[in-house]
Amino acid sequence: MNTAESFAELPVAPKPPLRRFHQARWDEPIIFELSAPGRRGLAVPEPGAPPVELPESVRRAEPPKLPEMSQLHVLRHYLRLSQENLGVDLNIDVGQGTCTMKYSPKVNDRFAAAIAELHPLQHEETVQGVLEIYWRLERMLAEISGMSRVSLQPGSGSAAIYANIAMIRAYHAANGEGHRDQVITTMFSHPSNAACAKTAGYEVITLMPDADGYPDIEALRAAVGPRTAALMITNPEDTGIFNPRIREFVELVHSVGGLACYDQANANGILGITRARDAGFDLCHFNLHKTFSTPHACGGPAAGACGVSAALEPFLPGPVVTFDGATYGMETPPSSIGKVRPFLGVTPNIVRAYAWIMAMGAEGLRQVAETAVLNNNYLMHKILQIPGASAPWDKRRVEQVRYSWQELSEETGVHSEEIGVRAADFGVHYWTSHHPYLVPEPFTLEPTESYSKEDLDEYAAILAHVASEARTDPEFVKGAPYNQSVHKIDTTSLDDPKAWAPTWRAYVRKHLS
């Protein structure tokens, strides 16, 4: 039974009218421009808090060059900026494909705030509670992945991938096989796998999909050899297709002495169903800001987690948390690759992920996966009813789908990016795809367990409306957005490093002086 047939008997609810939306638009300068000499805000100290006298050696010779603002102006500034944003707490955020945008329980923010006053240089005896959370979360993720040990130090998914690459290199060097200089990945795995391998000095071999949408196993068979250091693969890939021959891929790499590394950023649909180690993988990573419900926070702070088999434990980034049955401590593994970020990790998000897993329990984690898969296949059924939308490879998907507007684009001249911009006029958005666009005119949707049937119906209705607009008035769609805080962006400077300004002072120097 195909997906369309499986949902054909669902009752059809009357279509709700599209939600009216118009975002606030403030001509709001950045905070440095709002600064005025002599303005002061006031932070009232806690009652009874003793004054803190800093040693002369750590005092600044002059005040930091921070904006001078009153409390009211600071509040007003950030509230205005907040009104110019969309996010998971405001809109149906299923369109940030591959990023697993889900609801983050607000109670977990209170838990994270409870450790806000701790300092990373405190003595271990004074932070036993936090170290216990690290230890317990490590053990949970080890159980979820099947791995022997986990490090929570990486500050993002890409940092975790790079840490895994560094451990792969250290492992081969320790075994006298430092000549292994090739890493194999796949076209629909996350580009961070190839990027991190390349950054570490490896030659990258990319496997293209076969006619069925799976990574081409014959291409892998031809690629492996004495130079193979590792296979780095996402499964399910960013198409949402799970590779049923994944263990065979791992065994092929092992047969030539390479390691297999599982990018589990797309784990939201497989929790409690399949594990990395059960498929033979030697390393894996999770994105806690995806699968385990810690906020993305506009791209950061994220949190990554590296899992390894027993053979790779000595190479984990350090320090790692230890427990002797009575006391929690820290130690650095004997052949550690060293730190990949300061201190232990992104502690507020570690606390959030721990709280979320504890609330869900083992059965809850599997229910997360089952609901995410159901939501995804229901949304796919709705999207494929829109004329001009398609999904390559006629297969059920796991937690996301990479769709295509190729038919609609050829008929109307409207491109996927333009449809996404117009959708923002209704308070939603979507991600297209990383380049190259192997799926033409792509858009990638990933509904998690957080979204209701009504949410999915509304999202599909918005895309159907925009697709209809593209047929009747393509120039109108191309002119969007109309209800947003910003309009068309001049992208000419994006490819000119001389125009880039990563800080306010660089912007003033390059563009205002």
- In this structure, are strands 283-287 and 259-263 parallel, antiparallel, or unpaired? parallel
Using CA atoms, how far apart are residues 412 and 425, in angstroms rounded to an integer? 20
Using CA atoms, how far apart are residues 232 and 166, in angstroms rounded to an integer? 13
Identify which of 312, 308, 268 has the alpha carbon closest to the alpha carbon of residue 287. 268
* Angle between the N-to-C axes of helices 453-472 and 416-423, in degrees from 0 to 180, rounded to the nearest 10: 120
**Under-70 pLDDT residues of the chain:** 1-16, 298-300
Q: Give the pair of three-digit tokens for residue 31.
A: 């905070």
- In this structure, are strands 304-308 and 149-151 parallel, antiparallel, or unpaired? antiparallel
Would you give the DSSP letter of residue 20?
Answer: P
Integer CA distances (angstroms), 206 to 47, 231, 233, 248, 261, in order = 61, 10, 10, 18, 15
Give kind and range of the element (H or E) at residue 463: helix 453-472
Encode 5-15: b = buried (16+ Cβ within 10 Å), e = exposed.
eeeeeeeeeee
- Please give the pLDDT value at position 51: 77
Identify which of 490, 503, 392 has the alpha carbon closest to the alpha carbon of residue 439. 392
Give kind and range of the element (H or E) at residue 230: strand 228-234
Query: Is the pTM above the cut of 0.85?
Result: yes
- Please give the pLDDT value at position 382: 97
Q: What is the biggest distance separating any 2 CA atoms in the chain, rounded to whole angstroms?
A: 75
Would you give the DSSP letter of residue 51?
Answer: P
- Please give the pLDDT value at position 5: 53
- Please give the pLDDT value at position 299: 65
Helix (H, G, I), strand (E, B), or coil: what is residue 173? Answer: helix
CB 284 within 8 A of CB 231: no
pLDDT digits (tens, 9 = 90+) for 230-281: 999 999 999 999 999 999 999 999 999 999 999 999 999 999 999 999 999 9
- Please give the pLDDT value at position 4: 47
Token match 């434990």: residue?
313
Backbone phi, psi, residue 85, to 5°: -120, 150
CB 321 within 8 A of CB 315: no
- Please give the pLDDT value at position 7: 56
Encode 344-364: b = buried (16+ Cβ within 10 Å), e = exposed.
bbbbbbbbbbbbbbeebeeee
Q: Give the pair of three-digit tokens for residue 356.
A: 């979320």
Total count of residues recorded for the chain? 513
